Structure 1
């Protein structure tokens, strides 16, 4: 019933020039490669900068807006001043209407919420934002179900279902929405977030904050994080034991975040960082909760493997919650040295029917595309398609 009502609304707006809101969270994603699991809070942002973190959200937002700017259907764009969206919009060749100006010294969450509120009162047809789960929460808090929202993935935590599978696909979906293409439908999309402070203490505290009305098209949008069941756990325990038995002497293993890969560390009898990257060699722990630069330093002169799981309903392999394993790390390791572990049930449940990569580097994403071996049980594996 809801889908029919949403379809009627889409048809009602067909033929009219749509107005889009556009917000960039400039600090989103800065904590990823430096191993901070997020960038919520002033102290965390300062620590990210101290570790050499660089802004990433504007680059991601630009990829999306270039796709949107290529649309042959006219549209209006409202945005915030400067790095809140205006700079990116102009770089994409657009002429936006600046409807919110940030105050020097104001907090970024307040900027996001205030800009979103202005756009909601202006009755934009879609609010496009670049950030992570924290940004999605801020937007949802003020717009509720009054305005459809769509996220350009640019953060560290992106468990919510309001995001495109990558920046370009978010832009493509926005362009299809502008053109009122019938393939675009609306859904009630989960807005999730995890407690960053808890994750830094190696605990996962996930919470559903609400549902946003969001455009959806299969292959262009991600699903919410999926849960696990008992029979999956048994298979994953067994395949983890096999991975440990087959570890090569003198080889460095980068063990990615998550409960799946934690099983490998448990089989080794080693402590692990649930949402960080640990490194082992010859059965010993070489480093815990390492960032991109620390990983690259350890890799010098060593043959290296990467062990990763699949992030829930997203089907994400790289680019969601494991940004420490950056494009440069993946390039140096090589595609043939990536060990993927997940359950067959999880693969079957993936709506997109493929694994996703979004490393921020087009060449590395292209290198990862194709079919990759996925270990689903002892002496059991499948070749599963990877798409950027």
Structure 2
């Protein structure tokens, strides 16, 4: 990306005018083993209406964490949003005043509501639009306002391949604080990407380019665009799979997570694989396909559960992108040692020293689990790699 504008220091540090838009359904598809809120059936969307409007909904929690991080600095901010779960409710709960735009929102809300609200906020004259959602939400906003207004995404969805998201709500707060305090922040273009549904039907996970938006860039605060993994070394992946399958003890229950590297483990076991989900296996046999968060929790309540995952290529996200079935509650119960991470040396090298990222929606857990993790990188080969919240 080429930096084409900067925000320089100002002596009086004027108020920053921020828009807030929330996709209240963002993230609910992960625990349900769906591949994003875009594909929620109408009946499911209707049944979840009350839940997603509450402060316990994933997107609402992410915004609350962002606002809490902002509260630690003396900032002069003005907010523009809409009444209700698409923004105003969480601002009001935090005790923040906001200018409400006049947009009639359907209940339950749809992509058309997201686009209408984005346009209304842009017309209200804000400096930056903060949105909480995933790639589907980013696509809707991109379709509505394109490059007209800088945006910054709070990662709250199941799919987050785009480069418009901060690495977590705290990082987004750092960007906003830097902007308001007059620190040097670049304004760049970033890709909006989403899963290619046609390729997914053929068993390939490819993030397709859908457009670009402008984002404020502070060092190490935005996630990298996810690579498709086309360069994965098949032989190394096969060696990793052989190492994993040979070391599986009899009777142990495993949850095989998303990604092509873990899919190679399923192939070596001879079991079906859910490329963007979790499958439970024991002794080389499939126990449950495409398990939900509740499925994993129920099994972990009854017996020992081990989890095998791989980070996203290029982006380096370990937990929190596409594997929200791994809730913070589940992770705290099974413990860090119950997780086995698989990655080829090429995938780790491509990170250029950046740590693998934890985003469990629990700041304390992210902090406690940060450090050097063993990563299975080949047959009877492992590396220590930095993991950070």
TM normalised by structure 2 equals 0.91
Helix, strand or coil at the partner of 1:314: coil
Structure 1 residue runs of 5 or longer lacking an equivalent are: none
1:152 aligns with 2:151: no
Please tell me whether the aligned partners of residues 20 and 129 of structure 2 are also in contact (alpha carbons under 8 angstroms): yes
C-alpha distance in 2, partners of 1:121/1:235?
52
Please tell me whether the aligned partners of residues 88 and 100 of structure 2 are also in contact (alpha carbons under 8 angstroms): yes
Q: How many residues align?
A: 385
1:32 to 30, 33, 48: 30
User: Which residue number corresponds to residue 181 of structure 2?
Assistant: 179
* Distance change (3 Å), C-alpha of 1:10 and 1:232: farther
Helix, strand or coil at the partner of 1:313: coil
Please tell me whether the aligned partners of residues 2 and 189 of structure 2 are also in contact (alpha carbons under 8 angstroms): no
* Distance change (3 Å), C-alpha of 1:333 and 1:284: same
Q: Relative to total residues, which structure has the larger helix share, 1 or 2?
A: 1
* Distance change (3 Å), C-alpha of 1:192 and 1:212: same
1:87 to 86, 89, 96: 89
Structure 2 residue runs of 5 or longer lacking an equivalent are: none
* Distance change (3 Å), C-alpha of 1:346 and 1:16: same
User: Which residue number corresponds to residue 373 of structure 1?
Assistant: 374
1:334 aligns with 2:350: no
Bigger mean CA offset, 356-365 vs 319-328: 356-365
Helix, strand or coil at the partner of 2:37: coil
User: Which residue number corresponds to residue 227 of structure 1?
Assistant: 228
Please tell me whether the aligned partners of residues 13 and 180 of structure 2 are also in contact (alpha carbons under 8 angstroms): no
Give per-residue Cα distances to partners, 1:289-326, cap 9 Å, x unaligned.
Answer: 01011122223442221100001222111111011122
* Distance change (3 Å), C-alpha of 1:367 and 1:157: same
**Deviation of the 1:256 alpha carbon:** 0.4
Give per-residue Cα distances to partners, 1:125-146, cap 9 Å, x unaligned.
Answer: 1110011111111111111111
**Deviation of the 1:168 alpha carbon:** 1.9
Please tell me whether the aligned partners of residues 64 and 172 of structure 1 are also in contact (alpha carbons under 8 angstroms): no
**Deviation of the 1:157 alpha carbon:** 0.8
C-alpha distance in 1, partners of 2:96/2:42?
33
Helix, strand or coil at the partner of 1:305: strand
Question: Root-mean-square deviation (CA), in Å?
Answer: 2.6
**Deviation of the 1:30 alpha carbon:** 0.9
Matches within 5 A, 1:138-287: 138-182=140-184, 184-194=185-195, 204=205, 206-228=207-229, 230=231, 232-287=233-288
User: Which residue number corresponds to residue 102 of structure 1?
Assistant: 104
User: Which residue number corresponds to residue 290 of structure 1?
Assistant: 291
Helix, strand or coil at the partner of 2:233: helix
C-alpha distance in 1, partners of 2:67/2:12?
21
Helix, strand or coil at the partner of 1:336: helix
Give per-residue Cα distances to partners, 1:236-268, cap 9 Å, x unaligned.
Answer: 211111111011111111100111100100111
C-alpha distance in 2, partners of 1:302/1:136?
39
TM normalised by structure 1 equals 0.91
C-alpha distance in 2, partners of 1:340/1:39?
27
Give per-residue Cα distances to partners, 1:67-96, cap 9 Å, x unaligned.
Answer: 224332312111111111111112223211
Runs of 4+ with >6 A deviation: none
User: Which residue number corresponds to residue 348 of structure 2?
Assistant: 347
